[in-house]
Amino acid sequence: MAEARTESWTGKRIVVSPVEVTNFLGSIPLLQQLPGTSIQKIAEVVEPLQFGKGEVLLREGTPEDGLYFLWKGEVEVSIPNSMGSHTLGLLKSGDYFGYASAELIKNLNKSDVTAISEVICFVLRNENAHLLSSVSIWAQQPDESEVALLERILELETLEVDLYKGYTKPDYPSFGGNVYGGQLLGQALAAASKSVDPALLVHSLHAYFLLTGDERMPIIYKVERTRNGHTFATRQVSAIQKGRVIFTMYASFQRSMEGFEHQESMPNVPTPDQLLSQDELRKRYFSDPRIPLKKREKWAGGKPTKSSPLDVKEVDPIDEVSKEALPPWQSVWMKSKGKLTDDPALHRCAAVYASDWTFLATAKRPHRTVPIQLLSLDHSMWFHKPFRADEWLLFVVTFDFTSRLRALDLDGIGMTIQQSSPRASNGRGSVYGHFFNQNGELVMSASQEGLMRKLQKSDRSVAKSKL
């Protein structure tokens, strides 16, 4: 082992505004994978150091003393040899070098790093190395309370920069062996969110479901950095199983800014505390006299259903016993079961997950006399204001007022129509919706089209094209 040298190359400490430090560190791919709070903490403890041209930042054989993030200027990385030195390459703004370790025994630097122009670095010292690790992509430290099921579903394993692995664990909702579409949406957005500055939040996404996902297999999420800008950034995410792309998403992110505002009014509907949950409605059927006793006993003694990560309350729930055709709209209150970590990106991923829960089923309401197969084909969302997905959100849609009157034959009567499916044809159904918080603020909008056809006995849940 080389003998450690005692030379110290510290540079000159300077003052840099906290905003500049945070903005720069938020652009580093290595740090973007961490929880947003971790980047804020790192920005608070890094040392801004300035080095003159020709000054050595790190010397080969000296103990590693931290991780250097190169903000301004360029450095040369070289290895000393009998002929002088061998240049390995140049590093510029956005690159990083060195190593931060919380271990008592430090490694030795394996090369010289020399400034070839005036250089400014932000240095994360060893005593703060723990900030580079986290218990999940959403939380730096474990929470004393139990992690909500929805947050666990949206957790990803980091394989490397822009490459993640997601799972469908036994307690996650799935459908006939297929991955729930909302899980693909939420996990893909989580992967994309971990490739941008935490100050940028998704403002729109457009996704296509290409193949049904197999719940027994992990899903690889590959992120492509399509565009980087200070105000906007665009990402493409591909979800892969068995070497095939089963889902793709484009997501656009934006830094918060002031602008003009107006919005559609929230409809007047019962509050969540006035409604029954889906679990409570389901239990009512166990004692419904319209259902044969043997069937009710079979339901009551059947295999327990998987726990839902969502608390859902329908304003106008379907009577599962009746086959009466219903108008193609509905209104639903929903939120996460359990508190989510305070990360705005997580709450948007959670809302995306929830948006697929009852959405396409709205198109079935006028066609309740026949069994129908539904499969999501595409999904789009727009995000208007900050919100929390662990607080009640009302998922509703209004469409053209004159069309509403024609559909209900209620000319002259004003009323609000909720989550709607204005059209089903050619084996497809379309749905459109808005999300309101309890203060009446319109926070998100969504649209979706799905495969909608009569269910045949020969249909099987296999990974095949939805087209």
Contact 238, 166 (CB under 8 A): no
Contact 375, 451 (CB under 8 A): yes
Contact 114, 75 (CB under 8 A): yes
Q: What's the count of helices (H) and strands (E) in the chain, helices before strands?
A: 9, 25
Of 38, 420, 421, 448, the catalytic one is 448
Buried b (16+ CB within 10 A) or exposed e, 217-256: eebbbbbeeeeeeeeebbbbbbbbbeeeebbbbbbbbbbe
Rounded Cα gap, residues 422 and 403, in angstroms: 9
Instruction: State yes or no: is 322 an active-site residue.
Output: no
Of 112, 343, 356, 390, the catalytic one is 356
Instruction: State yes or no: is 101 an active-site residue.
Output: no
Instruction: State yes or no: is 376 an active-site residue.
Output: yes
In 3D space, the residue among 390, 387, 388 whose CA is nearest the CA of residue 339 turns out to be 390
In 3D space, the residue among 311, 306, 321 whose CA is nearest the CA of residue 277 turns out to be 311
Q: Please name the amino acid found at residue 93.
A: S
Of 376, 419, 421, 430, the catalytic one is 376
Contact 422, 403 (CB under 8 A): yes
Contact 432, 422 (CB under 8 A): yes
The single residue listed with the structure tokens 């979706």 is 448
Catalytic residues: 356, 376, 448
